[in-house]
Amino acid sequence: MFDGVCNLCNGSVNFFITRDKKDIFRFAALQSDIGIEIQKRLNIDHENIDSFILIEDNRYFKKSTAALRVASMLGFPYSLLYPLLLIPPFIRNIVYDTVAKYRYKWFGRKEYCRVPTAEEKAKFL
């Protein structure tokens, strides 16, 4: 799940879609009805939308942990980032939280959530 109005987040989704050769990822905006429903089901505070969230087997991962797990699933060369998980999250997330805090200022935002193209529709919940 991603911030549907964030330009950086939408760019990340585009990046993942083009590199998802195994067709394993599905996406939902955090602000969408399905995104809010999933967050409630997993007891995630849906009012706090400052994080990218990866859901695997009814478990969820946030922030840098989610990003590094996705990188590992994208294969080489992105999987080379996976060992960064050895760094404690409170250290890894300093950078993540800084980018999240200023993402709208640095990258801009859309007024509405991302609308997938016809080719992408199967990738979105």
The whole-number pLDDT of residue 24 equals 93
Q: What are phi and psi of 82, to 5 degrees?
A: -55, -40
The whole-number pLDDT of residue 49 equals 67
pTM, to two decimals: 0.84
List, for residues 35-66, the tens digit of each pLDDT value: 999 999 998 887 766 788 999 988 999 999 99
| Cα 57 off chain centre by | 16
C-alpha atoms less than 13 angstroms from C-alpha of 59 in its C-beta half-sphere:
6
Look over the chain and give the mean of its residue pLDDT values, rounded to a whole number. Answer: 90
Q: Is there a cis peptide before residue 77, judged by omega within 30 degrees of 0?
A: yes
Distance CA 82, CA 64 (A): 10
